[in-house]
Copies of this chain bind each other. A is one copy, B any other.
Amino acid sequence: RRGAWLGGYRGGLAWAGALRLNVHPLCMVLAMVFLQGDALLAFRVFRTEPKRSAKALHALLHGAALLVAIVGVAAVFEAHSAGGVAHAYSLHAWCGLAVLVLFTLQWLLGLGLFVFPGAGWALRGRYRPLHVFGGVALLALSVATSLLGITEMLLFHIRDTYSKFPAEGVLANTLGLLLVAFGLLVGYIVTREDWRRPPLPEELALSMDFKTLTEAESPGGSQ
């Protein structure tokens, strides 16, 4: 599946002439869809490995995504400067910058609370659901931003022929749907309850305590 997708994507790389601008979609899709998606899967794929290893892989993949994304963003800023075009005027750019800022924040908070040993169990337990929701939401918004980028690229380059179903347009649309499918697949795997990593004994003990503490006020919680 990934091979087929990269094949499709490589073809997609031939879209435009300006080489520097082509670095942008490659880096961004690689970083924000692929590496980010794979990072989310780390806890599922390696659910029987030690949690430390899965966590390290998760943090490293996200770190790599951030680095590649910075290269990708630099490429488009460079290209805009060279072409005398204003920066960050489009909805695609606004969404992309929002993703980048929130992603960096989420990564730093994750490092600070989950990787460095300082944070206590209670704080980690309270931040965890927000971190998980944020991660899935950022992946979804990254896919959406990629679709916006594809649409912008097509309307800048083949606006007048797009409605005649040219090969380039059909290929790009298909690529867009494949990105959506990848996002849905990762989202489904990550949110499915039965595929959750079994909690460590100490986490279980904590969540029991927490449940006892909160059960008096709120009736929900148990699934």
Q: Which positions in A face B, CB cutoff 8 Å?
A: 47, 85-86, 89-92, 94-95, 98, 129, 133, 137, 140-141, 143-144, 147-148, 150-152, 154-156, 159, 162-165, 169, 172-173, 176-177, 180, 184, 187-188, 191-199, 204, 207, 214, 218-223
Whether A164 pairs with B220 at a CB distance below 8 angstroms is no
A165 touches B220 (CB 8 A): no
Q: Residue A223 contacts which of B165, B195, B207 (CB distance < 8 angstroms)?
A: B207
A180 to B98, alpha carbons, bound, how many Å? 11
A159 to B159, CA, bound (A): 10
Q: Return 24 A-B CB contacts under 8 Å, by A number.
A: A47-B220, A85-B163, A86-B163, A90-B173, A91-B147, A91-B150, A91-B176, A91-B177, A95-B147, A95-B177, A95-B180, A133-B187, A137-B188, A144-B144, A144-B180, A147-B148, A148-B148, A151-B152, A155-B159, A193-B221, A193-B223, A196-B221, A199-B222, A204-B222
Interface pair B173/A196, CB less than 8 Å apart: no
For the complex formed by this chain, how many copies does it contain in all? 2
- Chain B contacts for A195, CB-based, 8 A: 220
* Chain B nearest Cβ from A136, distance in angstroms: 8
What 3 pairs between A and B have smallest CB-CB spacing? Answer: A144-B144, A155-B155, A91-B176
Q: Bound state CA distance, A133 and B147, in angstroms?
A: 21
* A90–B198 CB distance below 8 A: no
- Is A165 within 8 A of B86, CB to CB? yes
Chain B residues with CB below 8 A from A188, complex form: 133, 137
Main secondary structure of the interface of A (DSSP, over half): helix
Tell me the smallest distance from the CB of A83 to a CB of chain B, in Å. Answer: 10
Which of B91, B137, B169, B184 sits near A89, CB closer than 8 Å?
A: B169
A192 nearest in chain B by CB position: B129
Minimum CB distance partner of A98 in chain B: B177
CB-based contact B220/A89 at 8 Å = no
A131 vs chain B, min Cβ distance (A): 13
Report B-chain residues with C-beta under 8 Å of the C-beta of A152: 151, 155
Distance, CA A18 to CA B141, complexed state (A)? 31
Q: A176-B95, A197-B220, A220-B197 are in contact. Are A90 and B151 (CB under 8 A)?
A: yes
